[in-house]
Amino acid sequence: MAKYNVIVVGASGAVGQEILKILEEREFPVGNLKLCATTRSAGKELFFRKMPYIVEVTTPDSFNNMDIAFFAGGAASREFGPAAVERGSVVIDNSSNFRMDPAVPLVVPEVNPEDVKWHQGIIANPNCSTIQMVVALKPIHDAAKIKRVVVSTYQAVSGAGREGIEELAEQNSRIIKGEEISNRVFPYQIAFNLIPHIDVFMDMDYTKEEWKMVNETQKILHDDSIAITATTIRVPVYRSHSESINIETERKVTAAEARRLFEEFTGIVVIDDPSEIKYPMPLYASDRDEVFIGRIREDNSIPNGLNIWVVADQIRKGAATNAVQIAEKVVQYGCLIRK
- Give 269's strand partners: 292
Show the domain range for 198: 130-314
pLDDT of residue 338: 61
Instruction: Say which amino acid occupies 6.
Output: V
Whole-model pTM? 0.96
| 8 Å CB contact between 312 and 131 | yes
Question: Is residue 136 situated within a structural domain?
Answer: yes
User: Do residue 305 and residue 325 come from a single domain?
Assistant: no
φ, ψ (nearest 5 deg) of residue 95: -85, 180
Return the CATH number at 61. 3.40.50.720
| 8 Å CB contact between 268 and 108 | no
| 8 Å CB contact between 246 and 238 | no
| 8 Å CB contact between 110 and 222 | no
User: Do residue 26 and residue 11 come from a single domain?
Assistant: yes
User: Do residue 112 and residue 147 come from a single domain?
Assistant: no
Question: Is residue 85 situated within a structural domain?
Answer: yes
- Give 69's strand partners: 7, 91
Question: Is residue 339 situated within a structural domain?
Answer: no
Q: How far apart, in Å, are the Cα atoms of 308 and each of 212, 264, 336?
A: 20, 16, 38
- Give 249's strand partners: 146
Question: Is residue 111 situated within a structural domain?
Answer: yes
pLDDT of residue 73: 86
Closest CA to 294 of 306, 304, 305: 306
φ, ψ (nearest 5 deg) of residue 83: -65, -35
pLDDT of residue 74: 87
Query: What is the Cα–Cα distance from 238 to 155, expressed in whole angstroms?
Result: 9
* pLDDT, tens only, 38-66: 888 889 999 999 999 999 999 999 999 99
User: Do residue 177 and residue 45 come from a single domain?
Assistant: no
Return the CATH number at 252. 3.30.360.10
Residue positions annotated with a catalytic role:
128, 241
pLDDT of residue 339: 52
- Give 294's strand partners: 309
| 8 Å CB contact between 10 and 37 | yes
User: Do residue 94 and residue 139 come from a single domain?
Assistant: no
User: Do residue 162 and residue 100 come from a single domain?
Assistant: no
Question: Is residue 337 situated within a structural domain?
Answer: no
pLDDT of residue 108: 98
Total domains in the chain come to 2
Question: Is residue 78 situated within a structural domain?
Answer: yes
User: Do residue 121 and residue 134 come from a single domain?
Assistant: no
User: Do residue 111 and residue 140 come from a single domain?
Assistant: no
User: Do residue 259 and residue 216 come from a single domain?
Assistant: yes
**What is the chain's pLDDT, residue by residue, as a tens digit (339 residues)?**
799 999 999 999 989 999 999 999 999 999 999 999 988 888 999 999 999 999 999 999 999 999 999 999 889 999 999 999 999 999 999 999 999 999 999 999 999 999 999 999 999 999 999 999 999 999 999 999 999 999 999 999 999 988 999 999 999 999 999 999 999 999 999 999 999 999 999 999 999 999 999 999 999 999 999 999 999 999 999 999 999 999 999 999 999 999 999 999 999 999 999 999 999 999 999 999 999 999 999 999 999 999 999 999 999 999 999 999 999 999 999 999 765
pLDDT of residue 161: 86
pLDDT of residue 337: 72
User: Do residue 101 and residue 168 come from a single domain?
Assistant: no
Question: Is residue 226 situated within a structural domain?
Answer: yes
User: Do residue 175 and residue 235 come from a single domain?
Assistant: yes
Question: Is residue 338 situated within a structural domain?
Answer: no
User: Do residue 182 and residue 242 come from a single domain?
Assistant: yes
Query: What is the Cα–Cα distance from 253 to 224, expressed in whole angstroms?
Result: 21
